[in-house]
A and B are shown apart, each in its own frame.
Chain A
Amino acid sequence: MANLKDIQRQIKSVSNTQKTTRAMKLVSTAKLRRAEELAKRSRLYAAKMNQVIAEIAGRIKCNKVGGIDNRCFLKIENPKIVDVIFVTADKGLCGGFNIQTIKAVKKLLSEYEERNVKVRLRGIGKKGIEFFKYNEVEIFDSVTDLSSKPDKKRSDNFILSSIEDFNDGKIDGLHIVYNGYKNIITQELHVNHLLPVDSDQFECTEVQNSILEIEAQDEEHMLTSLVNKYVEYNMYYSLIDSLAAEHSARMQAMDAATNNAKEMVKTLNVKYNKARQAAITTELIEIISGVESMK
């Protein structure tokens, strides 16, 4: 029989935890609203940007537009080194949010390992970095405090070295893995293959075969700066999308925790009442048997 005092202490500690989780849920709800708003406003721009790039890639593929040999639009058959950027949260307590991203990264890593491709892992967010450090997976470089406070300048700086390395031929691919926001209760894992621009899904049809006219004497320059913006913006969008997803995941996790704590307090209360009743019964029996023995 558990001690009455012990149970009381347990009840107290569980209800304290419940208070904390409820507060965290409220904080996440407030933050989610802001992050969601930001992500929503940017979604259209990101989608259009990807569409424009995809169309250009498609037209280059379909028309074999003369002289365009920009590396970003060519299919690289045997990649040797690729960059994988992952975005995780800086903080935990958000359910499976981080671990999902980590799993996807691990899958990508093993796929590339099979194909004998070297992967340079670049990490954003403490949780993912810690995980790979602990598991002794080499991380090429990493940055923290960026996924919790997305900043266009810092994200541009971070991605720039990958773009430059790609253009210099040091790497042959660039992927971003992140957990994005789908709706308030679901997150959606994204593995984006940014470079080289994937034109496979693009079917050559009549319309797209119309002439691609790039009004610039320097097509190369235009494509390069466009691709730069495309990659930069995708990086930034991943960050804000991931932040919204993080808050929604945390909100959900904390909600579940609060409910669990509530359940636990309930069962503990029942247990406490039972123990108290048992104690009273024992005492009564003791008194009665004492009286009986005196007769």
Chain B
Amino acid sequence: MDKFKLEILTPNGVIYNDDAVSVVLPGEEGEFGVLAHHASLTTLLEAGVIDIEKKDKSVESILINWGVVQVDEKKVIVLVEGAVAIRGDSESAIANALEDAKKLIKDIADSNPAIASVSAKLESAASRLL
């Protein structure tokens, strides 16, 4: 599988900067997936979960509240405002991340009607890890 460079940046620093095989992004017009050699594209993201498939087939999920993505042939840059990565080495670490993520959801719940589906996705992302 071809891979591409994926960068996810928040105002508080880099949250992901590595190669990825595919990434699914919550676009404003609906979810879309990006593979290597995708045509260049710039669009906005809404609150949702970014699913990254890495080289070793593992999947990482990152919850975001708003973002913009710039895709070109070589790399994908995602700028997000607030993000929580659902990852951790132990169950408690994952539970903590999930807790943070739920907090972020609460913050954005008022402004977004599609939030229920986001929490559902989040739960499934977490259960995959546990």
Contact = CB atoms under 8 A, between A and B. Distances in A.
A42 B40 contact: no
A216 B40 contact: no
A23 to B, nearest CB: 31
A214 interface: yes
A118 B11 CA distance: 34
A212 B39 CA distance: 9
Contacts of B14: 44
B117 interface: no
Interface string A45-60: 1001100100110000
A213 B41 contact: yes
A56 B79 contact: no
Nearest to B44: A222
Interface string B69-113: 010110001010100000000000000000000000000000000
B70 A55 contact: yes
A212 B79 contact: no
A201 interface: no
Given A45-B9, A45-B11, A49-B79, A229 B68 contact: yes
B77 A52 contact: yes
Given A216-B28, A216-B43, A44 B68 contact: no
A211 B40 contact: yes
A160 interface: no
A216 B29 contact: yes
Contacts of A229: 66, 68, 81
A226 B68 contact: yes
A218 to B, nearest CB: 9
A236 B81 CA distance: 13
Contact of A42 (B12, B28, B43): B12
Nearest to A233: B11
Interface in B21-53: 27-29, 32, 39-44
A217 interface: yes
Contacts of B44: 216, 222, 225-226
A210 interface: yes
A214 B9 contact: no
A215 B70 CA distance: 11
Interface of A: 41-42, 44-45, 48-49, 52, 55-56, 210-217, 222, 225-226, 229, 233, 236
Interface of B: 7, 9-14, 27-29, 32, 39-44, 66, 68, 70, 72-73, 77, 79, 81
Cβ-closest 9 pairs across A and B: A215-B43, A41-B13, A45-B9, A213-B41, A45-B11, A42-B11, A52-B70, A41-B12, A222-B44
28 contacts: A41-B12, A42-B11, A44-B9, A44-B13, A44-B14, A45-B13, A48-B9, A48-B79, A55-B70, A210-B40, A211-B39, A211-B40, A213-B42, A214-B43, A215-B29, A215-B42, A216-B28, A216-B29, A216-B43, A216-B44, A217-B29, A222-B28, A222-B44, A225-B44, A229-B66, A229-B68, A229-B81, A233-B11
